[in-house]
Amino acid sequence: MEQLIIQVRTEDNLLSLLLAQKSGDWVVKGGKEQEITHVEIVNFDGTQRIEGTFDAANSYRLENGRLVIAFKDAYIRNCSVVFNGRNPVRYI
């Protein structure tokens, strides 16, 4: 199986997200969660990120269709990530 990473950019506190093992809700194409294998949640300035395995069993869609991204086996790592444009969600 090929690896698909969803990378999101957030202003939320990464440590709080790590403890909750989930991130806020995101606009993700319907059915895309079947393909996602890994998660990267990047802080807004792009200097740190959570890296983890996508937890499909605990991820869910809200009534408005946005996906709450759950993850497991995660940790915070220093990084240097640049987001071009305003879209906070991308796949790598």
Number of structural domains, the chain? 1
Please tell me the distance from the alpha carbon of residue 32 to that of residue 43, in angstroms, as a whole number: 23
- pLDDT tens for each residue of 5-59: 999 999 999 999 999 999 999 999 988 999 999 999 999 999 999 999 999 999 9
Q: Write the CATH number for 63.
A: 2.40.450
**Residues in CB range of 16: below 8 A, 6 or more apart:** none
Strand 67-78, strand 60-61: pairing: antiparallel
Domain range for 27:
5-91
Examine the pLDDT at 1 and tell me if it is beyond 80: no
Structure-model confidence comparison of residues 64 and 83, the more confident one: 64
Q: Percentage of residues in the chain with pLDDT exceeding 90?
A: 83
**Selection from 11, 20, 78, 15 nearest residue 43 by Cα:** 11
Cross-strand partners of 42: 9, 49
